[in-house]
């Protein structure tokens, strides 16, 4: 059994995917709460309909720059201090976490954080914002998605799991993105099930820790 705390900012399609997985496999995982900085996020109503505890922590209005980020994260820590969880799952969370926040959540077994993110590209390529646009504009023949542990950099953390999909000759950016989203849902589900059931192999590499799921090709 793993306990998950989900962070999301908008419609939360990846968050909904995680909620559905936990509902389908209640003996393997539990979602203990949802955190958002957006009071109008569409994912809020969905979480409430699933009886998932929600915590809205809006950005402070009386600070700016680094002090605003620090104060916001301080408020998040206060809001979640009563929760017990094994992983924080970023699912369309549109804030970059500070190194100080990340350092508060070390993994108990590996030299990584216990914060997980889904990125819409095959890392280390196309880091940062608008990754589908970046990959599409680059004319890649094969793209993909990556689940990774979060570190102090932007999309630089150890890769856990990746899925690929081909770019079709008929693809528009919209169709390319939609097919990528389906792979995001699958990748997050596969990775969480692997962590929940212990069906993975930890492989030490020179620069990162990779969790290869049993049976993965």
Residues classed as catalytic: 119
Torsion on CA atoms 99, 21, 188, 104, rounded to nearest 10 = 10
Residues in the chain: 217
Q: 95: exposed, middle or buried (C-beta count within 10 Å: 0-12, 13-18, 19+)?
A: middle
Pick from 185, 196, 149: which is nearest to 20 by CA?
185
The tokens describing 87, both together, are 């992983």
Pick from 105, 140, 107: which is nearest to 125 by CA?
140
């Amino acid at each position: 059994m793993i306990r998950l705390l989900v962070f999301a900012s908008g419609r939360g399609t990846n968050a909904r995917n995680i909620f559905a997985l936990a509902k389908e496999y209640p003996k393997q995982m539990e979602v203990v709460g949802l955190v958002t900085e957006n009071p109008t996020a569409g994912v809020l109503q969905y979480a409430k309909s699933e009886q998932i505890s929600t915590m809205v922590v809006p950005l402070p209005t009386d600070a700016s720059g680094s002090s605003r980020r620090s104060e916001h994260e301080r408020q998040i820590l206060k809001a979640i201090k009563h929760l017990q969880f094994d992983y924080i799952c970023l699912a369309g969370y549109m804030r970059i976490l500070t190194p100080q926040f990340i350092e508060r959540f070390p993994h108990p077994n590996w030299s990584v954080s216990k914060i997980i993110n889904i990125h819409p590209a095959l890392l280390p390529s196309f880091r940062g914002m608008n990754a589908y646009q970046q990959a599409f504009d680059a004319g890649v023949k094969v793209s993909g998605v990556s689940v990774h542990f979060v570190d102090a950099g932007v999309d630089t953390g150890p890769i856990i799991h990746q899925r690929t999909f081909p770019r079709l000759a008929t693809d528009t950016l919209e169709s390319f993105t939609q097919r990528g989203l389906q792979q995001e849902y699958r990748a997050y589900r596969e990775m969480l099930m692997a962590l929940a059931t212990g069906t993975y192999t930890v492989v030490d590499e020179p620069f990162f820790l990779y969790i290869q799921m049993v049976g993965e090709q």
